[in-house]
Amino acid sequence: MAHPKRKISKTRRDKRRTHIKTSTPQVAVDKVSGEPHLYHRAHWHEGKLYYKGKVLIDQTEKIES
């Protein structure tokens, strides 16, 4: 198995990795509320939790006890 003749410094290693960067997150617009959100994520809008245009949780409804 091949071994390097000299240790590669952290600076040199990091210079080689500088082109590897994260991409900007894609943003979608909800069909119902028009609210921008990340793809495949539920999001809150005016007290309601939306996912794929459907309301999952509605906090505006009063809980009867």
**Would 35 be classed as within a structural domain?**
yes
Mean pLDDT of the chain: 85
**Would 1 be classed as within a structural domain?**
no
- For a pLDDT cut of 70, what percent of the chain falls above it? 94
Q: What is the pLDDT of residue 6?
A: 93
8/24: higher pLDDT: 8
**Would 4 be classed as within a structural domain?**
no
Q: What is the pLDDT of residue 62?
A: 67
CB of 16 within 8 A of CB of 8?
Answer: no
Mean pLDDT of 25-46: 87
**Would 37 be classed as within a structural domain?**
yes
**Would 8 be classed as within a structural domain?**
no
**Would 63 be classed as within a structural domain?**
yes
Q: What is the pLDDT of residue 33?
A: 78
Q: Which range marks the domain in which residue 50 is found?
A: 27-65
CB of 38 within 8 A of CB of 25?
Answer: yes
Measured between alpha carbons, how far is 36 from 9 in angstroms, rounded to an integer?
A: 44
Mean pLDDT of 3-23: 87
| Contacts of 51 by beta carbon, 8 Å cutoff, 6+ apart | 41, 42, 43
